[in-house]
Amino acid sequence: MSTPILIDSLSFARDRQSRSGRIALAKLARVVEELAATDGELVWSLQGDIDTLSRPFLRLQIQTVLTLRCQRCLETMPFSLDVDSRITLFTSEARLESACEMDESLDAIVATEELNIEALIEDEVLLALPIAPRHENCGNAALERSRAERPNPFAVLASLKRQPE
């Protein structure tokens, strides 16, 4: 286990700090359960800021391509994930609840001095996943796979070049 990345969420937002990084998908245990393949990584960036209502918030952007399993044909399918969320910080559960009652689309958390960025990223990825992933056209998936399995002539050439002379 690597050490978690912890931030003081309120000062991060108020000081308009920013941070970014990459995480191997295999490290996100709750996301892995939803994936058909766990290779690859995601890139993320987090920026703190204050909104027009003077509320501190975190803007979290995540990009990756996940391999999901189609619920209809059970073949794998690529899924481009592009998250851009604004997570508003509240200093108490009561304030958070009343704000969410007024604005149902609000994405909010209670501010903490030790916010685990990886856990936050994992939550946002899970929220962005389709409930029942399906190909638009399942028949094409098997076709695409057989195409992908055929050796690429350029890859063959490259491997020949790499051999010692």
| Beta-bridge mates of residue 64 | 81
* Footprint (CB under 5 A) of Zn ion, residues 118-137: 135
Which CB sits closer to Zn ion, 80 or 105? 80
Which of 11/71 has CB closer to Zn ion?
A: 71
Question: Smallest distance, Å, CB 75 to Zn ion?
Answer: 5
Is 36 near Zn ion (CB under 5 A)? no
Half-sphere exposure of 99 (CA within 13 A, CB side): 17
In the complex, the smallest distance separating the C-beta of residue 136 from Zn ion, rounded to whole angstroms, is: 9
Q: Which is nearer to Zn ion, 45 or 76 (CB)?
A: 76
Cα angle for residues 6, 11, 15 (degrees, 5° grid): 120
What Å distances lie between residue 21 and 44, 52, 72, 110, 135, CA to CA? 6, 28, 35, 23, 30
The residues that bridge with 85 in the sheet, in sequence order, are 60
Contacts of 34 (CB under 8 A, 6+ apart): 66, 68, 126, 129
- Residues 13 and 89: beta-carbon distance below 8 Å: yes
Q: Which is nearer to Zn ion, 6 or 138 (CB)?
A: 138
Each residue 62-81 as x (binds Zn ion by CB under 5 A) or -, in order, gives: --------x-xx--------
72 within 8 A of 138, measured Cβ to Cβ:
yes
Shortest spacing between CB 71 and Zn ion, in angstroms: 8
* Smallest separation (angstroms) from Zn ion to the CB of 129: 16
Cβ closer to Zn ion: 10 or 129? 129
Q: What residues line the site for Zn ion (CB under 5 A)?
A: 70, 72-73, 135, 138
